[in-house]
Structure 1
Amino acid sequence: MNRFAPAIVVLAMGTVTGLVAQNDVVSYVNPLVGSQKSAIGYGGTMPFVTPPFGMTNWTPQTRQNKISIVSYNYDDTTISGFIGTHQPAIWMGDYGYVTVIPQVGELRTTPESRKLSYSHASEVARPDYYRVSLGTGADGKIQAEMTATERCAFFRFTFPNAAGPRVIVEASRPGIAGLASVNSQTQEITGYNPHRMDAHLGPFALPNFKGYFVVQFEQPPMDMKTYGDDGSSHGAYAEFRPGQTIQVRIGTSFISIEQARQNLMREIPSWNFRAVQEKLHTIWNRKLSQLQIGGATDKDKTLMYTAMYHALLYPRVFSEYGRYYSAFDDSIHNGESYTAYSIWDTFRAENSMLTLLAPERIDGMITALLQNFKEGGWMPKWPNPSYTNIMIATHADSLVAEAFRKGFTGFDRQLAWQAVYKDAMTPPDGDTTRRWLDREEYTPYEARAGLTYYKQLGYIPTDKTDEAASSTLEDSYDDWCIAQIAKALGRSEDFRFFLKRSLNDRNLYNPALGLMNGRTSDGKWAPIGGEKDDDQNRSVSGWTEGDTWVYTWSPLHDQAGLIQLMGGVENYDKKLDQHFSGGHNVHSNEPSHHYGYLYDFDGQPWKTQAMVRKIAAEEYDASPGGLDGDDDCGQMSAWLLFTAMGFYPVSPASGEYMIGSPMYGEISLTLANGKRFRLETSNNSAKNVYIQSATLNGKTLDMPVITWEQIQAGGVLHFVMGPEPSKWGSKWRPALILAN
């Protein structure tokens, strides 16, 4: 495994940019983490140069991205361009992207022919700046530098004294009806790319969709031409005199070419590369500095600040100075918008982390989901940028409920009720005539697949709907979220209705098995075998990316009910021990993320303390191969951030956080209200993982739970740590939900 050494990279960055100072936390971010397959896993991340939540992300392109392949892989040895991408995760596609390629010699436009060699020794990767030396053979090297703004990029290409230096702009790939045009008077290349790789996963054709771009050059080109009329590609290029440093700025838009130009003039009004970089550096440093870490090595800080960088990338901005293109009704609207919500993943911890790190964004993010509801008929579960029908349940309900619970009020609360009520009560079109297969193509919006049966039977039958058992358990949690929204709005009858229905998870508990079990429409227990185990490739056992062990503890809101079903805390604890000892905990996928914290519920929090430290040590590293599993728009990273801070939102819409084992001597968080919440430990180390005692603002804390209000009040949470388990927090039990 190639190890990342923060001190070396900091020195390299300092000599290049002069921006690194002793207290400059940006210097600890390594955007290469997660970009390499390793013994730990593969995070599917890319070294993005972008501000937090940037609309367009810029990265070197070592391979042609598509669904299941991202643009950059650490193990590749060549770069074929620099792409302005909107691909949010490895399992999703890109859309409206644009690629820029520096080149010398003869014109080469295909990805294979235009590849240039590079080594990581020449590579500097930071959130605000990327630099690499590209080999051209006997012609020497091209130095490429890149920085960015929310919707635009700034490149600086230093060419060798060789013939044919040019900058190519690839508007679209073969078979895609993109467009590029040149204007020698304004020194511009403009165009658009209508490609949406995920278009087959949603119901809308979106004929007006395009990713627009404007490319401008500071140095006058000797010539500008288009290429690709033969169908091989669509693009244009500008040629320059040998030996020059060429500055290029690019504006992007989903509204129009003129809007892309306006975005560029707003965000990069001059040809000052350093000024743009310094501004982006300041943005990241200000945001990252909200978290301060004491008693940590440089490697620890790289681990933490890189996780924070990843957690602050999504969902991405999708509006442009008061207007946005809607990928739900194919029209332009006034307002603020976001996209790339990987909600099945991120509702667990990432969204909760954003309520702490970026609360100024939450109202806009919820408003964007509600606008999607108005324009497309439903809140989406995985917009990219339109409906994709990927994953199960309607966990936008959880995001809305969490916003209600935490006191966010800058969105239409009555519209929010309409949206979550429709999720819970209106089956999708063709609900009883479709299996709703995972990633089934060209279907209506899936919403809650099998809701018809859920309302009739109290569960979704495995012989009628795919992924039925998982959906039943996750729909139950969403019903609990809707009950909390109803309560906040004073809708008492609705509160009681959805609270009762939130206990549908209990209908799948099989006492003979001691685990959750799918059921068929006649009430019988479904097989618990393989996920796809019949000749029609149907999920007869009913699970999504898991099995009965992975999903038994998935009702986030109802652990007390599960304890009761299992016959008490001792049986719950034994079964949880079997889960971990049997190798069922798969941290690379989200359904297992809260499991390490579940011992808090059965009176043995010392097991949680040991387990979460073990998972953090085994599944994360400050190296390119340091993420076990797709980061999924920050969810993997958010888990690490919460775990390092010592608490985690097992049931995120509850506003409660279960306490684990803080990883460092001190972590402090600057809150939006100006207060600071500081977590301090005594005797903390890799061996001293067990909490011996705790105080909150000097008062004894004897339960393994803290609340949103306690964090927002600021102050000090102090733990005394030790090498042996203690009985701290062991008397606490969760309250049982009773629905009359």
Structure 2
Amino acid sequence: MKRIFFVVAIIFLGAFSKLSAQTDLVPYVNPLVGSQRSAIGYGGTMPFVTTPFGMTDWTPQTRQNKISVTSYNYDDTTISGFTGTHQPAIWMGDYGYVTIAPQIGELRTTPDSRQLPYSHQSEVARPDYYRVLLDTGSDGKIQAEVTATERCSMLRFTFPASSTGRVLIEASRPGIPGMASVNPETREITGYNPHRMDAHLGPLALPNFKGYFVIQFQQTPKAMKTYGMDDSKAESSRGAYAEFEPGQTIQLRVGTSFISVEQARENLQREIPGWDFEAVQRALRAQWNAKLSRLQIGGATDADKTLLYTALYHALLYPRVFSEYGRYYSAFDDSIHRGESFTAYSIWDTFRAENSLLTLFAPERIDGMITALLQNFKEGGWMPKWPNPSYTNIMIATHADSLVAEAIRKGFHGFDREVAWQAVYKDAMTPPDGDTTRRWLDREEHTPYEARAGLTYYKQLGYIPTDKTDEAASSTLEDSYDDWCVAQVAKALGRANDYQFFLKRSLNDRNLYNPALGLMNGKTSDGKWAPIGGGRDDNGNRSVSGWTEGDAWVYTWSPLHDQAGLIQLMGGVEQYDKKLDQHFSGGHNVHSNEPSHHYGYLYDFGGEPWKTQAMVRKIAEKEYSPTPGGLDGDDDCGQMSAWLLFTAMGFYPVNPASGDYMIGSPMYGEIALTLANGKTFRIQASNNSPENLYIQSATLNGTPLNIPVITWEQIQAGGLLHFVMGPKPSRWGSKWRAAPVAARPNHS
């Protein structure tokens, strides 16, 4: 019997060896994906030239960015410059940015006046390089090229032979007290931009915040001047420019910093000490290939590979580095510290799958990312929800608890676990300032840090009442999951009493189940059911249903940790699956927003995994394509992309902090994931095709796998997960049931 097993294993591995590793995968990345509105949706992405997790991203600017507007939109026909941006998502603002614009002719300082037409036919967009031709009319075209490092960039402008070339540096915008200065002797333009577009969304004033820059030219300018510096009311932004003899190719390198001009210069000297544009570009390409090559795909077309490697590119952009060679500016106490830092955690979105993907593809970053959140806690009093780079109070719950719990569950040890406990315990037990006197409106301006809004009521009633706190029903359900995460941290640290307390409290989600509707339903402070689909307060101007970015259908299955409890509440797996059927057939699954991302995998819990297999394939086909309009909904710092990558591999972290992954339907014949420990985890799907999407049988390293679950440890051990696929549903995995969290507690 052992001999047969050995032979079978050799056959499986031999079959998989046909997948030859590709080393240059950058050509499969299309950074334009998600940058166009289309029938699928709008991803709000930009064609960034940057490193994985780069501090500053470089993109052409087709429109002036702001909250809800990104710098680049595929449908625009002109470019007004190239921006070193820190805007992480369309709904977030930028901060500390700098814009560089090549031009000829008269000086034009405003974005509208300096626009130049371009064509996508002349555009080359890759993670390591961007090139475009800018049409100046009868004078000819300016060729613009960009490459980058983690904190710096190098640009090259080739001007028409008959025209004086000018490079304009926009330090800030009207009304923003930025600064630029010139030094002809060193061929430098230096300055800073203190703009934080979403500063009004958080509680902190940061008088010391600035985005600094140093720009150095290889060629000697014939003139260097500033503009708008003497008139604070000037319509033009404040900046500077350098002019050059006609027909030159001008190279410039740019250092950025949040510490000082001197640090920006040091960053530049460390990262781009010379003037070899191609060498910088080759080094950046190598960095991306080192990451991309950890995913190998077989049985896929070039379009399929573009889809997946672009998704991996998007997922590896965030959180972004926010430290500079051993020091960082803290946007939580407005001071400089020693250490490593990150920012741009879209945690309400990314705790679901993006963070879990990083534990596989960038585990070397996880300790630093968790440490950064704990530093934020020590410097500002709380771990943030959505640092950009400071508190913004965007979205609900405290899902940094999930990131901490997941890191501990997966064995990461490079952060202070006692500080982590202090941080998650405060999230779970300390109401925010003014908790019972504020509604905590979505994106309410100039409020204290929101933390768990309505926590006072949650502790008293077992839920957050809709007549006291906005988004109360959604918050109750998501706080329950975070309580489960806090319980896991307590368990890992040997805090048995705390573990039992938070485990029991994590079942507060059940207090909102309305058996008459078979759905979750908000409650008012007197224990009555709130209007399920809306309703207004006594003034007639506020919805009191209690949901955020969704409704009762979107949120009923949201307790990621308590699907077994939900099955019990609904009366068993048949009713659970029937309700899921109604959810999907009724059009309630909105994949463009994150609360629905795990819903396709829930049939695994209800004993009908073949429905999961069909549903996740259907969602992937409908919501993604390798085109500029190929993302349905804001990518949200990689979460939309992470969903696709997990689904393509054939599994998904429904409860990310559990270390379990629910099985879906692998999209391609062969996928290999190179792990940081040197092992390889392979997924093979024999007979796979768009029609053969149903799992008939599965083995893990030759041993039958009869449940639709694999674990973190099984992945880390490496080996082969082998599926046999077919055109019809099978009963594979149908007997598995999730274990309940605990007995249902009594609440009034």
TM-score by length of 1: 0.97
Counterpart check, 1:263 vs 2:267: yes
Counterpart check, 1:683 vs 2:687: yes
Counterpart check, 1:459 vs 2:463: yes
Q: Residue 493 of structure 1 aligns with which residue? A: 497
Q: Residue 14 of structure 2 aligns with which residue? A: none
Q: How does 1:583-598 map to 2 (within 5 A)?
A: 583-598=587-602
Q: Give yes or no for contact 2:23–2:289 (8 Å, CA) kept in 1.
A: no
Counterpart check, 1:572 vs 2:570: no
Counterpart check, 1:60 vs 2:60: yes
Q: Against the structure 1 CA distance between its residues 531 and 284, is the aligned structure 2 distance closer, same or farther, given a 3 Å change threshold? A: farther
Q: Residue 586 of structure 2 aligns with which residue? A: 582
Write out per-residue CA displacement over residues 646-684 of structure 1, whole angstroms, 9 at most, x where no aligned residue. Answer: 000000000000000000000000001000000001100
Q: Which of residues 301, 305, 308 is equivalent to 1:301?
A: 305
1:162 CA displacement: 3.0
Q: Give yes or no for contact 1:172–1:193 (8 Å, CA) kept in 2.
A: yes
Q: Against the structure 1 CA distance between its residues 605 and 50, is the aligned structure 2 distance closer, same or farther, given a 3 Å change threshold? A: same
Q: How does 1:147-226 map to 2 (within 5 A)?
A: 147-226=147-226
CA distance in 2, matches of 1:544, 1:226: 47
Counterpart check, 1:343 vs 2:347: yes
1:537 CA displacement: 3.9
- Structure 1 letter corresponding to 2:227: Y
Query: Secondary structure, in 3 states, of the residue corresponding to 2:155?
Result: strand
Counterpart check, 1:83 vs 2:87: no
Counterpart check, 1:427 vs 2:431: yes
CA distance in 2, matches of 1:435, 1:626: 37
- Structure 2 letter corresponding to 1:424: A
1:164 CA displacement: 2.9
1:538 CA displacement: 2.7
Q: Give yes or no for contact 1:556–1:651 (8 Å, CA) kept in 2.
A: yes
Write out per-residue CA displacement over residues 259-307 of structure 1, whole angstroms, 9 at most, x where no aligned residue. Answer: 0000000000000000000000000011100000000000000000000
Q: Residue 419 of structure 2 aligns with which residue? A: 415
Q: Residue 107 of structure 2 aligns with which residue? A: 107
Q: Give yes or no for contact 1:192–1:211 (8 Å, CA) kept in 2.
A: yes
CA distance in 2, matches of 1:22, 1:238: 43
Q: Residue 12 of structure 1 aligns with which residue? A: none
Q: Which of residues 376, 380, 386 is equivalent to 2:384?
A: 380
- Larger CA deviation: 522-531 vs 37-46: 522-531
Q: Residue 47 of structure 2 aligns with which residue? A: 47
Write out per-residue CA displacement over residues 504-536 of structure 1, whole angstroms, 9 at most, x where no aligned residue. Answer: 000000000100000000000000123877746
- Structure 1 letter corresponding to 2:480: S
CA distance in 2, matches of 1:538, 1:216: 54
Write out per-residue CA displacement over residues 310-369 of structure 1, whole angstroms, 9 at most, x where no aligned residue. Answer: 000000000000000000000000000000000000000000000000000000000000
Q: Residue 633 of structure 1 aligns with which residue? A: 637
Q: Give yes or no for contact 2:164–2:247 (8 Å, CA) kept in 1.
A: no
CA distance in 2, matches of 1:261, 1:640: 39
Query: Secondary structure, in 3 states, of the residue corresponding to 1:138?
Result: coil
Q: Residue 92 of structure 1 aligns with which residue? A: 92
- Larger CA deviation: 36-45 vs 523-532: 523-532
CA distance in 1, matches of 2:24, 2:298: 14
1:738 CA displacement: 1.4
- Structure 2 letter corresponding to 1:201: L
- Structure 2 letter corresponding to 1:214: V
Q: Residue 704 of structure 2 aligns with which residue? A: 700
CA distance in 1, matches of 2:401, 2:282: 39
Q: Residue 287 of structure 2 aligns with which residue? A: 283
Q: Residue 26 of structure 1 aligns with which residue? A: 26
Q: Residue 3 of structure 1 aligns with which residue? A: none
Q: Residue 13 of structure 1 aligns with which residue? A: none
Q: Residue 722 of structure 1 aligns with which residue? A: 726
Q: Residue 8 of structure 1 aligns with which residue? A: none
Counterpart check, 1:481 vs 2:485: yes
CA distance in 1, matches of 2:541, 2:730: 49
Write out per-residue CA displacement over residues 98-131 of structure 1, whole angstroms, 9 at most, x where no aligned residue. Answer: 0000000010000000000000000000000000
CA distance in 2, matches of 1:22, 1:76: 35
Identity of matched residues, %: 84
Q: Give yes or no for contact 2:84–2:98 (8 Å, CA) kept in 1.
A: yes
CA distance in 1, matches of 2:459, 2:22: 59
- Structure 2 letter corresponding to 1:136: T
CA distance in 2, matches of 1:172, 1:524: 52
CA distance in 2, matches of 1:538, 1:490: 45
CA distance in 2, matches of 1:620, 1:71: 22
Q: Against the structure 1 CA distance between its residues 678 and 218, is the aligned structure 2 distance closer, same or farther, given a 3 Å change threshold? A: same
CA distance in 2, matches of 1:135, 1:49: 22
Counterpart check, 1:645 vs 2:649: yes
CA distance in 1, matches of 2:465, 2:164: 65
Q: Give yes or no for contact 1:104–1:162 (8 Å, CA) kept in 2.
A: no
CA distance in 1, matches of 2:322, 2:290: 23
Query: Secondary structure, in 3 states, of the residue corresponding to 2:580?
Result: helix
Q: Give yes or no for contact 1:105–1:162 (8 Å, CA) kept in 2.
A: no
Query: Secondary structure, in 3 states, of the residue corresponding to 1:293?
Result: strand
Counterpart check, 1:542 vs 2:549: no
- Structure 1 letter corresponding to 2:223: D
Write out per-residue CA displacement over residues 536-575 of structure 1, whole angstroms, 9 at most, x where no aligned residue. Answer: 6433000000000000000000000000000000000000
Q: Against the structure 1 CA distance between its residues 29 and 563, is the aligned structure 2 distance closer, same or farther, given a 3 Å change threshold? A: same
Q: Residue 600 of structure 1 aligns with which residue? A: 604
- Structure 1 letter corresponding to 2:176: I
Q: Give yes or no for contact 1:531–1:546 (8 Å, CA) kept in 2.
A: no
Q: Residue 558 of structure 2 aligns with which residue? A: 554
Q: Residue 506 of structure 1 aligns with which residue? A: 510
- Structure 2 letter corresponding to 1:90: I
- Structure 1 letter corresponding to 2:111: P
Q: Which of residues 237, 241, 244 is equivalent to 1:237?
A: 241
Q: Which of residues 511, 515, 521 is equivalent to 2:525?
A: 521
Q: Against the structure 1 CA distance between its residues 246 and 533, is the aligned structure 2 distance closer, same or farther, given a 3 Å change threshold? A: farther
CA distance in 1, matches of 2:123, 2:536: 44
CA distance in 1, matches of 2:514, 2:159: 68
- Structure 2 letter corresponding to 1:447: A
Q: Residue 7 of structure 1 aligns with which residue? A: none
TM-score by length of 2: 0.96
Query: Secondary structure, in 3 states, of the residue corresponding to 1:499?
Result: helix
Q: Against the structure 1 CA distance between its residues 402 and 531, is the aligned structure 2 distance closer, same or farther, given a 3 Å change threshold? A: farther
Gaps of 5+ in 1: 1-20
Query: Secondary structure, in 3 states, of the residue corresponding to 1:445?
Result: coil
Q: Give yes or no for contact 1:224–1:237 (8 Å, CA) kept in 2.
A: yes
1:233 CA displacement: 1.2
CA distance in 2, matches of 1:329, 1:629: 34
Gaps of 5+ in 2: 1-20
Q: How does 1:134-149 map to 2 (within 5 A)?
A: 134-149=134-149
Q: How does 1:656-671 map to 2 (within 5 A)?
A: 656-671=660-675
Q: Residue 615 of structure 1 aligns with which residue? A: 619
Query: Secondary structure, in 3 states, of the residue corresponding to 2:75?
Result: coil
Q: Give yes or no for contact 1:461–1:519 (8 Å, CA) kept in 2.
A: yes
Q: Against the structure 1 CA distance between its residues 298 and 180, is the aligned structure 2 distance closer, same or farther, given a 3 Å change threshold? A: same
Q: Which of residues 349, 356, 378 is equivalent to 1:352?
A: 356
Q: Give yes or no for contact 1:104–1:165 (8 Å, CA) kept in 2.
A: yes
- Structure 2 letter corresponding to 1:475: D
Q: Which of residues 445, 465, 487 is equivalent to 1:441?
A: 445
Q: Which of residues 245, 252, 260 is equivalent to 1:248?
A: 252
CA distance in 1, matches of 2:176, 2:493: 48
Q: Size of the alignment, in residue pairs?
A: 720
1:142 CA displacement: 0.1
1:24 CA displacement: 1.4
Q: Give yes or no for contact 2:699–2:721 (8 Å, CA) kept in 1.
A: yes
CA distance in 1, matches of 2:189, 2:368: 33
Query: Secondary structure, in 3 states, of the residue corresponding to 1:292?
Result: strand
Query: Secondary structure, in 3 states, of the residue corresponding to 1:172?
Result: coil
